[in-house]
Amino acid sequence: MAVFTEVPFDTARRLIERLDIGTLTTLEGAAGGIENTNYFADTDRGRYVLTVFERLGFEQLPFYLGLMKHLAQRGIPVPDPQADAEGRILLELLGKPAAVVNRLPGRHREAPDRAHAEAVAAMLARMHLAGADFPLRQPNLRGLAWWAETVPVVRPFLDPAQRALIDAELAFQQQLAASAAYGALPAGPIHADLFRDNVMFTDADGEDRLGGFFDFYFAGVDRWLFDIAVCLNDWCIDLDTGALVEARAQAFVAAYDAVRPLQANELRLLPALMRAGALRFWISRLWDLHLPRDARMLAPHDPTHFERVLRQRVAQPWHYERS
Ligand SMILES: Nc1ncnc2c1ncn2[C@@H]1O[C@H](COP(=O)(O)OP(=O)(O)O)[C@@H](O)[C@H]1O
Ligand SMILES: N[C@@H](CCOP(=O)(O)O)C(=O)O
């Protein structure tokens, strides 16, 4: 259960009262997640999620919440932060930052097929375009600078072969980031963590429909291609082996490309960015496993999964072929 901060019903009721979204009827802790306290909060007028931020401070949240508001206003299905009478969407509860967003319909799909991948890819492209004029700028805080800072911290926990891999891949990404081709990649706000468990699908009428993207708390301004790479490494792999499911990956990129045509240097650098995406989550999972920030931290994700994915992306780079 991802409830790190217990919120009494009356405390939540008073907060909800300030938002003009009805009267709180039920409040229930949400399972899953490893970062924030989430409660499902129903009112007599709608369904919401109350989040108390455990890791993030008041300085980073205006970017995340503002981006969600911006995207929601442009018709992208993402949680829409609710404002109080003064127009504030970043709230405070029990001394911690908090927000109330609308609850997306549906549930995530653990075993996505090609149609799920295509729906996510097309919406990802729409989201990138819709976010392009978002005025706030915050870098991807889990980007290259963080990897370089964190690799020395997790390195002592690795065996010699793992150290060689992590050192080589970090050096490869540093060299890539300094290249002109990388510098020319289009950039803007990205989600940066759009895994299967951060996307809802509804199954009304026997057909799956995209319910929305959520958990924007790793978002930042970075290369759009990085978002595509992160998705390919999750939506388009066999989780048992880490192998890319090439037909699904091909369909994913084609669906994205149909909405926002990829540039030639994006097509060329995709294999390198897929290595970046695998490295990023290998490092963060190592960090979560070996340096838990809090004794109450839930079971961390398995780092060896992304070590394996990274080895495969290095050994078998995959190129998208436009048909
Ligand atoms: N806006 C939302 N709409 C619907 N469900 C949500 C929403 N936000 C969070 N949830 C639910 O809460 C769970 C935990 O949220 P998540 O953002 O993954 O937490 P964390 O930030 O701790 O990783 C999700 O798996 C999902 O079921
Ligand atoms: N998707 C990341 C972990 C981030 O956790 P989330 O629950 O906030 O998405 C991973 O799989 O390592």
Q: Which residues line ligand 2 (CB under 6 A)?
A: 33-35, 193, 195, 197-198, 215, 281, 284-285, 301
Q: Are 25 and 163 in the same domain?
A: no
Q: Is residue 177 part of a domain?
A: yes
* Residue where a domain terminates, one of 72, 102, 132: 102
- d(CA 251, CA 267) in angstroms, rounded, equals 14
**Nearest atom within ligand 2 for CA of residue 35:** 8
Q: How many independent structural domains does the chain possess?
A: 2
Q: Which domain holds residue 36?
A: 9-102
C-alpha distances out from residue 204 to 52, 122, 201, Å:
31, 20, 9
Ligand 2 centroid to Cα of residue 97, in Å, is 20
* Residue where a domain terminates, one of 80, 102, 124: 102
What is the full per-residue pLDDT of the chain (323 aa) written as tens digits?
A: 467 899 999 999 999 999 999 999 999 999 866 678 999 999 999 999 999 998 888 899 999 999 999 999 999 999 999 999 999 999 999 999 999 999 999 999 999 999 999 999 999 999 999 999 999 999 999 999 999 999 999 999 999 999 999 999 999 999 999 999 999 999 999 999 999 999 999 998 888 999 999 999 999 999 999 999 999 999 999 999 999 999 999 999 999 999 999 999 999 999 999 999 999 999 999 999 998 766 455 678 999 999 999 999 999 999 999 98
CATH number at residue 31: 3.30.200.20
Q: Are 189 and 53 in the same domain?
A: no
Q: Which residues line ligand 1 (CB under 6 A)?
A: 2, 30, 32-36, 38, 49, 79, 101, 103-104, 197, 214-215, 217
The interface predicted TM-score (ipTM) is 0.95
